[in-house]
Amino acid sequence: MLYVKRDTWGKLQRVEAAPFDEMNGELAADSQEAQDWFANQAVENSLLKLQQSDLDMIRVLEDLISVLIRKGVVRITDLPEEAQAKLVGRSKARDALGGLNRLINDDESELI
């Protein structure tokens, strides 16, 4: 048996194996609705992981572009104007946070 919270339209909002304070119903664990809920949760978790990975990759790409520019492999003017504007904007935002470098650490292995 699963314990659930449904919205006013009957749509599942939360499903738990144990009773919880906000629950307003129960659902058979082998029901199609329960299976659909857990399948949807797995998809949502995968999407969240992919979104975080995208954010991490943005930082990698920024750093790569910076290295290529510093080494003279490319010039910022080689990039489209929109890309230049975004890179400059992000660089300025990072510089503005420079005074907070003791709080913000690029090395994620260390705690703040």
Q: Are strands 12-16 and 2-6 parallel, antiparallel or unpaired?
A: antiparallel
Distance CA 61, CA 23 (A): 45
Query: Is 41 in a helix, a strand, or coil?
Result: helix
**Tens digits of residue pLDDT in 43-97:** 898 999 999 999 889 889 988 998 999 999 999 999 999 999 999 998 888 888 8
For the chain, the structural domain boundaries read 2-52
Query: For residue 102, what pLDDT is reported?
Result: 47
Distance CA 15, CA 27 (A): 9
Cα dist from 100 to 23, 93, 106, whole Å:
43, 12, 12
On the question of pLDDT at 111 being above 50, the answer is: no
| Residues whose CB is less than 8 angstroms from the CB of residue 74 and which lie 6 or more positions away in sequence, other chains included | 65, 68
Distance CA 88, CA 99 (A): 18
